[in-house]
Amino acid sequence: MKLIIAIVQHEDSLVLIDALMEAKLYVTKLSTTGGFLKMGNTTLLIGTDEARIEQVLTIIRETCHSREQFMATALPFDSTGVGINSFPVKVNVGGATVFIMDVERFEKF
Ligand code: 2BA
Pairing of strands 28-33, 96-102: unpaired
Average pLDDT over residues 25-32: 98
Amino acid letter, residue 71: M
Strand-by-strand arrangement of the 96-102 sheet: 28-33, 40-48, 2-8, 96-102
Nearest atom, ligand 1, residue 41 CA: 33
Q: What residues flank ligand 1, with Cβ below 6 Å?
A: 7, 34-37, 39, 41, 91-94, 97
pLDDT in tens, 40-95: 999 999 999 999 999 999 999 999 999 998 888 776 666 666 656 777 889 999 89
0.85 exceeded by the pTM? yes
Quote the pLDDT of residue 87: 78
Amino acid letter, residue 31: S
Burial of 75 (0-12, 13-18, 19+ CB in 10 A): exposed
Angle at 67 between CA 63 and CA 69, to 5 degrees: 145
**How far does residue 78's CA lie from ligand 1's centre (Å)?**
31
| Residue of 33, 43, 90, 93 best suited for mutating to test ligand 1, as the one with most atoms within 8 Å of CB | 93
- The answer to whether 23 touches 58, Cβ cutoff 8 Å, is no
